[in-house]
Structure 1
């Protein structure tokens, strides 16, 4: 939601009581914050300046400002101040306001900006009539780890003409300074112009988070800054319309909202056979048509999928085509390396007589799954290759950073089209649920399926191989594909994804992945117990749930670090088109 700032500036006409009343009117009108201009004539301009006397008469004393700021803060509204000089800043910082604005006239006053930076507050930089290099120098003078910086586009021309607003410059600012800062718009369009609202609405589309608009009690009195000011009732309407229309721009940006999901479900056409076909036959474009159908199948099948694929059984005319109707083959890809960041060489840690990676191999092989092990070319992973070969698991060695490339390169000589990804952290994977998740993907024509309602460490992820290829071909940065799941969950608008059902008795928040020493202790107890029961590699979810219902898991408190899992998972489909 954008923050709407009521700019009081000098609309108080030098009367401190009027300043307080304007702040109250702004609060009632729905503004999120108010902004005053703090200046002292001898700090603002030279005594020879033609407007020196005007500003000297207009400015408040420190005592008056103290009363205004304290009264405004009691309204439970944010207070920002233009600080037009060092003297103004040194005074106002004592009153603990919410942020400072550096006026256009002070954008090159790095002495002032450096002082403001020490406060650790929100800093607005006015960009009207300011060169990009001046903005750059100002930002460089600010400690961005302590202060949130907002670039405000717009200038005051008493009033500013719509044709001079040049909102496209916001794009230029964003191109240069990206996410180092936030962006806003100083709306100085004439308050009497019926079109004044439209410019701020358009500005929302440029991704701004702040809108500053002047407020006054009566434009007819033609007080200072009356040109671009709104009266309280107009301001209230302005706020309401801005906030209502903002909803049309944002909301759920990484996936469809529920209403749109329902719309998709109701309107999408399914691929349907227009003639009966027999087991082993190919299905051609001429054999299918697309029609709406009420079905439990979650997604329509893509026409490209059926190419060169034979049917697994007879199908009658009118059948909805699903991936499961065509021949398919699955392969389990196990990914691990010795240079793990948190629990060093965990794949080689032993429980009983076998390493963690051996336990995982044997558990998957016992379920008669095709399997390939993908590790790195690092010399430290030579031992993993030896263990893999000892257990008769094919091994491929590739890129350390680009895990997706390692996986796809390893799969090149395999024709399997469904990929089950298992990491070396999750040695308790359940083969039966692995099958259920695969079936769920195929029955519903999905690109990706998880099993997140299972205990962590027992679940797997199922990918259509073409989905992995698409991520590889379109990903902007693939060096974080160790966390491949994020390339799906951050891009729900790209893929048909689902979460496979889990029996109620197996739904759990148990943490059984192995990522640290405490995790290892928790899993070790279970593995040793299964060994005693002759179920070392054949245990199931019932065994896991029963064991941990009687043996409480020790939990480690994790520090909240918002930067720990920040990846660039952005995809660019235009790369694929080219």
Structure 2
């Protein structure tokens, strides 16, 4: 079974424009993200748009040796389907590029469970229920399920958010499996969406060597330094459809 990670990336983010192209520790957040994903040992594909604004993303991915698929900005579901077809994947791990500290071992554990279940209709995730810090999220599902969603989804939110058709089980044939985390820290934001998120992530990377740490290490640091958690604790996550 060929499983690949597809990470969606674009420069026209609204709350913090070109956020993944900003730098911490002399590397862009996108480069940190791709470095972390490479540790899974799985093929990684960047799914970006055909917009000129996203040329720097294409360039950075190329420098990292990561292939790029370019598609619709708003119909991200079709972008993922196109990337999966082009790379002849059997299953997809979906992540987002605003997670520069995503833990490769967490992702790999989800993939291992998906392989072990051997069920085309299975959807595995660690975020159906929030037990991990934001920034560690992944979803694993089959390409046949992805292609069925592409063919059937009509709601704009389902086209934009890729997997809502699946995890809302709109087709009625998806088996959902959440893999929870017992290590705490679900209140923390290790994702990049605002300037305050950037400040926290930059501090973690530059002052705490966060790029060398796993999820448990990061939670331990956040718990030991409440002043870090306070930097972005007030940020509200965007809701589905926003």
Task: Please tell me the TM-score bracket, short chain as reference.
Answer: 0.7 to 0.9
Measure, in 2, the Cα distance between the counterparts of 1:361 and 1:557. Answer: 25
Higher relative contact order (CA 8 A, sep 6+): 2
Structure 2 counterparts to residues 473-488 of structure 1, below 5 A: 473-478=151-156, 480-488=158-166
Which of these residues, 520, 535, 540, is aligned with residue 214 of structure 2? 540
User: Given the alignment of the two structures, is residue 511 of structure 1 paired with residue 189 of structure 2, yes or no?
Assistant: yes
1:516-566 CA distance string (max 9 Å, x none): 1111112222112343xxx63x4212211111111221222549x9xx644
Report the Cα distance in structure 2 between the residues aligned to 1:356 and 1:487, rounded to whole angstroms.
29
Contact 2:4 / 2:43 at 8 angstroms: preserved in 1?
yes
Look up the match of 2:125. 450
Distance 1:363 1:405, change over 3 A: same
Residue correspondence of structure 1 range 22-33 to structure 2 within 5 A: none
Q: CA deviation at 1:459?
A: 2.1
Determine the structure 2 residue equivalent to 1:383: 56
Partner residue of 1:438? 111
- Tell me the residue number matched to 1:520: 198
**Equivalence for 1:333:** 6
Q: Distance in 2 between matches of 1:456 and 1:361?
A: 17
**Are the equivalent residues in 2 in contact too, given 1:348–1:356 (CA < 8 A)?**
yes
Name which of 395, 398, 401 aligns with 2:71: 398
CA distance in 2 between partners of 1:516 and 1:487 (Å): 27
1:479 & 1:460 partners in 2: Cα distance?
Answer: 19
Residue among 179, 188, 200 paired with 1:500: 179
The CA deviation string for residues 8-29 of structure 1, in whole angstroms up to 9 with x for no partner, is xxxxxxxxxxxxxxxxxxxxxx
Task: Tell me the secondary structure at the aligned position of residue 440 of structure 1.
Answer: helix
Secondary structure of the corresponding residue to residue 183 of structure 2: helix
Given the two structures, how large is their TM-score scaled by the length of structure 2?
0.87
Q: Deviation string for 1:270-306 (max 9, x for gaps)?
A: xxxxxxxxxxxxxxxxxxxxxxxxxxxxxxxxxxxxx
- In structure 2, the residue matched to 1:425 is 98
Shift of 1:507: 5.6
Q: Using structure 1 for the length normalisation, give the TM-score.
A: 0.38
Structure 2: distance between partners of 1:508 and 1:473: 34
8 Å CA contact 2:77–2:163 kept in 1: the answer is: no
Q: Counterparts of 1:288-299 in structure 2 under 5 Å? A: none
Judged with a 3 Å threshold, the aligned counterparts in structure 2 of structure 1 residues 437 and 333 are, in CA distance, closer, same or farther, namely same
Equivalence for 1:282: none
SS at match of 2:188: coil
How do residues 226-375 of structure 1 correspond to structure 2 at under 5 angstroms? 328-375=1-48
Contact 1:404/1:478 (<8 A) preserved = no
Relative distance call for 1:428 and 1:482 in structure 2 (3 A) is farther
**Which of the residues 212, 216, 223 maps onto 1:549?**
223
Q: C-alpha distance in 2, partners of 1:496/1:528?
A: 41
2: CA distance, partners of 1:480 / 1:403:
9
Is the 2:45–2:68 contact (alpha carbons within 8 Å) kept by the matching residues of 1? yes
Residue in 1 aligned with 2:142? Answer: 464
* Ranges in structure 1 where 5+ consecutive residues have no aligned partner: 1-327, 568-578
The CA distance in 2 between the partners of 1:494 and 1:530, in whole Å, is 44
**Number of aligned positions between the proteins:** 232
Provide the rounded CA distance (Å) in 2 between the counterparts of 1:338 and 1:520. Answer: 15
* CA distance in structure 1 between the partners assigned to 2:4 and 2:80 by the alignment: 11
Return the alpha-carbon distance in structure 2 between the equivalents of residues 429 and 338 of structure 1.
19
- SS of 2:6's equivalent? strand
Aligned-pair CA distance for 1:385 = 0.6
Structure 2's unaligned 5+ residue stretches are none
The SS at the match of 1:412 is helix
Larger radius of gyration: 1
